[in-house]
Amino acid sequence: MSYNIMVPFIYLLCFALLCGSLSGQSDPAAALTDAQKQTLKALEADSAKQAGPLLLKIGAAAKSFDRNILAAEPDQELDRRYSTELVDAIAEAIRMRIASVREIARVLTPEQKKLLLAELEKPGANPDLPSLMETVFAQKKK
């Protein structure tokens, strides 16, 4: 897969990894309490706040990398530098995502976790926890 095809995918992936829709529910067996909803909304807001600058950082690193590889004679040292910056920014997004998922899991009850695990085991299940929660808890943005 070429780099230029991957860049938009990476942006979308990072945004999806850092943000999620976590409000409302309709299944009584999987109902989130008001306290859980408030906590999850706060986590979502914090993730979105962190995502903006990080996406700009990823975009800037990608743009620098692209400029160099599109030059008549790409600079090998700049290639290494910009590649490292891009990989580091994406790794930072993944670390933030992992931390967010851990925080989300701390908010859920054991019963809610079981429901999510059951959904996750289904063929073709979305592995993105906020998206999975939308499916399980029939969540809709207000």
Read off the pLDDT of residues 69-95 as tens digits, 9 standing for 90 and up.
999 999 999 999 999 999 999 999 999
Among candidate residues 46, 6, 2, 77, the one with its CA nearest the CA of residue 54: 46
Q: For position 128, what pLDDT does the model report?
A: 87
Q: What is the pLDDT of residues 11-65, one digit of tens each?
A: 445 445 444 434 334 445 568 889 998 999 999 899 889 889 999 999 999 999 9
Model pTM score: 0.69
Long-range CB pairs of 8-11 (<8 Å, 24+ gap) are: 10/58, 10/62, 10/90, 11/55, 11/58, 11/59
Q: For position 63, what pLDDT does the model report?
A: 97
